[in-house]
């Protein structure tokens, strides 16, 4: 079995779906800085403010090695044409409909993007062979698992949201295609990624928005601090470094390509209330004045889980990587960016 870590190959062509998204943008920018050729696909939908998506793309377009295709991975014909024209060596599928709560009221878009879209990616890799397919899974697949930290070997057949079910389905589909067609495939179970230019629907971003709008923040733990929510927050630069280390390292055996799944998280879960207090402190530092959020406590929402906590030893063993950015440092970068981007005082 291959176990020697291989560095990034800058001679390859990298296809990133969801290139206008949070993780996709940062990964594309990092690869372009390294001198790689990057093909980006994104449908630039309005799940959240498209101006932020275009602001990300504006930072990528100056690179000569970047090509952007506006399209939806659910469009099989378009996707096949992109593979035929650009012949990517490595594919990173980050295009997906995200959000646990949004899946309760809008299930159709999850099937269209996360199931049909990912099927089209697998088919494209089948008929246009690639060196490696990396795709986004989620820590949501662990459901209401009470055994922590979450390990890749844990039982994950009880998803508590449709979003989680689609991500578990992606892992099963990737396994099947890897087995049948020898596609080297790696799934990444992301744990609450945060940072500048992040997703506005994420709690840290939403809380900051609400502060400047004069609205209270809603905390879904009934105010029960003995049963506080825990989240494994992972800074965006750490996530990108982890992905980059995996790109040239598909799992290969004498029998052919294999599928594998990794947790990619911080391995240091934070109490939600501690996280909120840290966010308040960072925003205070950015603004030069004391910030305290107005808080409203409500019951847990359907599909939410009490804790996310990543066991990251497998990823560390494979590519010698472990996230290192402290929450205070990462949130300070976010609040500094937020105040500059939105021009708030």
Instruction: Cite the active site residues.
Output: 163
Cβ pair 250, 259 in contact under 8 A: no
Three-state SS across 303-337?
A: CCCCECCECCHHHHHHHCCCCCCCHHHHHHHHHHH
Sign of CA dihedral 232, 238, 239, 241: negative
* Distance, CA of 253 to CA of 131 (rounded, Å): 14
Cβ neighbours of residue 13 under 8 Å, at least 6 residues apart?
A: 36, 37, 38, 39, 86, 87, 88, 89, 90
Length of the chain: 345
Cβ pair 14, 88 in contact under 8 A: yes
On the question of a cis peptide bond just before residue 149, with omega within 30 degrees of 0, the verdict is yes
φ/ψ (deg, to 5) at 33: -60, -35
β-bridge pairing 90-93 and 132-138 = parallel
Q: Where are the beta strands (DSSP E) in the chain?
A: 13-17, 37-42, 66-70, 90-93, 132-138, 185-190, 193-194, 217-219, 230-231, 234-235, 252-253, 256-257, 259-264, 270-271, 295-297
Cβ neighbours of residue 225 under 8 Å, at least 6 residues apart?
A: 273
* SS3 state of residue 43: coil
Cβ pair 262, 152 in contact under 8 A: yes
């Amino acid at each position: 079995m291959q176990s020697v870590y291989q560095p990034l190959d800058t001679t390859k062509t990298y296809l990133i779906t969801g290139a206008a998204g949070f993780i996709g943008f940062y990964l594309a920018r990092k690869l372009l800085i390294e001198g790689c050729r990057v093909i980006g696909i994104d449908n630039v939908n309005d799940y959240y403010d498209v101006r932020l998506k275009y602001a990300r793309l504006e930072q990528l377009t100056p690179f000569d090695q970047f090509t952007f295709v506006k399209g939806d991975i659910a469009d099989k014909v378009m996707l096949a044409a992109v593979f035929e024209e650009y012949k990517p060596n490595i594919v990173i599928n980050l295009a997906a409909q995200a959000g646990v709560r949004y899946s309760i009221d809008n299930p159709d878009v999850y099937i269209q993007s996360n199931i049909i879209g990912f099927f089209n990616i697998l088919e494209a890799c089948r008929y246009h062979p690639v060196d490696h397919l990396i795709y986004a899974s989620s820590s949501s697949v662990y459901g209401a698992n009470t055994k922590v930290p979450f390990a890749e070997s844990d039982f994950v057949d009880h998803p508590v949201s449709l979003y989680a079910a689609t991500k578990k389905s992606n892992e099963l589909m990737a396994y099947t295609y890897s087995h049948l067609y020898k596609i080297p495939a790696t799934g990444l179970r992301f744990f609450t990624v945060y940072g500048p230019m992040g997703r506005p629907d994420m709690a840290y971003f939403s809380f900051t928005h609400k502060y400047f709008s004069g609205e209270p923040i809603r905390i879904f733990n009934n105010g029960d601090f003995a049963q506080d929510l825990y989240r494994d927050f992972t800074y965006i630069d750490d996530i990108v470094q982890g992905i980059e280390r995996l790109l040239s390292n598909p799992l290969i055996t004498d029998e052919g390509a294999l599928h594998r799944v990794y947790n990619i998280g911080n391995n240091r879960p934070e109490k939600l209330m501690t996280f909120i207090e840290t966010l308040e402190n960072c925003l205070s530092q950015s603004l030069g004045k004391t910030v305290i959020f107005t808080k409203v406590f409500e019951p847990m929402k359907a599909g939410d889980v009490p804790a996310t906590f990543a066991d990251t030893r497998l990823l560390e063993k494979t590519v010698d990587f472990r996230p290192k950015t402290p929450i205070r440092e990462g949130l300070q970068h976010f609040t500094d960016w937020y105040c500059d981007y939105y021009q708030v005082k």
